[in-house]
Structure 1
Amino acid sequence: MKRAFLLAGSASYTLSPAMHNAAFRALGARAHYEALALAAAELPEAVARLRDPGCLGANVTIPHKLAVVPLLDTLSEAARATGAVNTIVNRGGALEGHNTDAAGFMRALKEDGGYDPAGQEVVLLGAGGSARAVAYALLRSGVARLAVYNRTLERAHALARALGPYGELEVLSPAQLKGRVRSAALLVNTTSVGLSGVQEGASPLPEDALPRAMVCDIIYRPPQTTLLKRASAAGLAVQNGLPMLVYQGAEALTLWTGLPAPVAVMRAAAEAALAA
């Protein structure tokens, strides 16, 4: 039986095993997916084990998306651009790094959210691995203006420098944040503010700071964060992170198996696991 893994800092909250194992069953694939909780010091050994012939590869999540990059042999364009990897594929012992978060985010936004960000003004909160993927996807989609805010400004500047070849990212100061959010059409939160068990109930923005059209929060646990509740109450379109999770997972599954992913099966399994 083939194996695939999730390399995570904490594996207690993830929906990925339920989602991928349901997909393997639907495809008739003799494969099993398991989540591994790893400290930073354990990451190199865990990545080395992915070279085993019985291993398809792995997903990578917080806090390892950037740290895993130098441990790999090759990178896809999206992984090189973002400097972040969320999917590793074992090709005969050589490890390829991919970033399926970017494609997953944009597919979720357009297909599930019914929103095309082309020509729009967007504000992005956060500067970690997920933020890099979202920023890359937004720049490639042709947004008119993209601004990023992070509590640690140097991390925001690092993101802007990394993605400079793909378009301009303006780094916002705390004094600029509220006004720019209000003038934006779309706000995307990639921070952990609002996440169950971390900062649940909190919001990354003041109550009166909302964009004009839509709020996307890539958190899926809880299904509706305080930020999304406020946006929905104000009549804005909202989207949580579950569609992005499903679509990035579908991209990863196809990379591992070469088969079209059973997206409906994966979504149903993720929703059931979330409800449980």
Structure 2
Amino acid sequence: MTTTTTTTTTTTTVSLQDELVYLDTKADHLDRHGYLFGQKLAASMSPLLHETVYRELGLRWEQIRLDSTDMDLFLRFMRHPKFYGASVTMPHKVAIIQHLDELTDECRDVGACNTIFVRDLPSGQRLFCGANTDVIGVRESFVQNVPAPDIYEHRPAMVIGGGGAARSAVYALHKWLKATDIYLVNRDEAEVAAVMAECTERGYGARLIHVSSVEQAEKLEGPGAIAACVPDFAPSTEQEKLARRITEVMLLKEKKGAMLEMCYNPSPYTALGALAEQHGWQVILGTEALIWQGIEQDKYWTGRAAYDLPVKEVKEIIAAKLAQVSRS
């Protein structure tokens, strides 16, 4: 059994025993540690974000990359006495839920968990709790970056994709951003059907509309907010090409809006984002969602309010990282 573990400065492939020794060594100079648990984590800015928060707060904490599909391994590490919590990414956002003691309302309603935090009871028992801060990332990306909310409020919205990020976007657009109808565009009809069924079961699926043809898209009112929740690759299958054509029809509508491009790994500068800008849309980079969902995570982990966290410093360090990506 092996797992790839990446700290903020090094990358190594280690055995389970080596990882346990590594953690014991970390415990000598760290007060607390957490994880980024998922796959394809090398380019993730999450550890950088949280490292900035901890440094500014004077905390001897660290978020460690755990690039692994081994759920049992993670559950074992989660029970370390100095574990403070974890960022959970694909493919574990749904699977982790069954292993948690409590869920926040957003986590339960979306059906996906991207944040684990610990609640210590007076009895000494530790409860492992799940939250979904992706929904906050979507909400704040629009609220913090669009100067006039009437650009997206009381207008239809559109979500491109059918995975966990798409579910979070639907939830945020429905609950906080005052969308009327929410259009779903995706290459896979079965994924759309699953999203619609789950959202309906949880009480917020009534205004979801699957846009499945160019002709249908041409007849619909244009969206004010778009959340793009798909990887950055050129459409190749007929279904992917159809989804892109439908998206272009919406981008060409006379009344424009703002698009949140959730994809930021390995780069937030995507082909879909460039297309939207060409058609006159404001494009919000996915790193904005990263920042705001990460700040929400640190509220859970540190117990501090957002105004007590170094948001300015986080924005500066992510902007500097983006400048490096842009130059490369």
> 2:130 aligned to 97, 102, 122, which one?
97
- SS of 1:232's partner is helix
Cα pair 2:211 2:217 within 8 Å, conserved: no
Cα pair 1:219 1:241 within 8 Å, conserved: yes
Distance 1:180 1:86 in 2: 36
- For 1:268, the equivalent position in structure 2 comes to 316
Deviations 1:176-212 (A, max 9, x none): 57437872223221011349xxxxxx99623843153
- For 1:245, the equivalent position in structure 2 comes to 290
- For 2:194, the equivalent position in structure 1 comes to 158
- For 1:15, the equivalent position in structure 2 comes to 45
Backbone CA RMSD of aligned residues = 2.3
Cα pair 1:51 1:90 within 8 Å, conserved: no
Q: CA deviation at 1:115?
A: 5.3
Q: CA deviation at 1:174?
A: 4.1
The gaps in structure 2 that reach 5 residues or longer are: 1-30, 121-125, 235-240
The gaps in structure 1 that reach 5 residues or longer are: 196-201
- For 1:62, the equivalent position in structure 2 comes to 90
Q: CA deviation at 1:18?
A: 0.9
Distance 1:166 1:153 in 2: 19
- SS of 1:47's partner is helix
Q: How many residues align?
A: 268
2:182 pairs with 1:146: yes
2:101 pairs with 1:73: yes
1:113-262 correspondence runs (5 A): 113-114=146-147, 116=149, 117-141=152-176, 142-164=178-200, 165-168=203-206, 169-175=208-214, 178-179=217-218, 183-194=222-233, 205-206=244-245, 208-209=248-249, 210=251, 211=253, 212-220=256-264, 221-259=266-304, 260-262=308-310
Amino acid at match of 1:216: L
Cα pair 2:262 2:289 within 8 Å, conserved: yes
TM value normalised by structure 1: 0.89
Distance 2:132 2:216 in 1: 28
Structure label with greater radius of gyration: 2
Moved more, 2-11 or 260-269: 260-269
Distance 1:82 1:253 in 2: 20
TM value normalised by structure 2: 0.75
Distance 2:81 2:211 in 1: 47
Amino acid at match of 1:137: A
Cα pair 1:66 1:85 within 8 Å, conserved: yes
- SS of 1:159's partner is helix
Deviations 1:224-257 (A, max 9, x none): 2111212212222111111110000000011001
Of structures 1 and 2, the one with the larger relative CO (CA 8 A, separation 6+) is 1
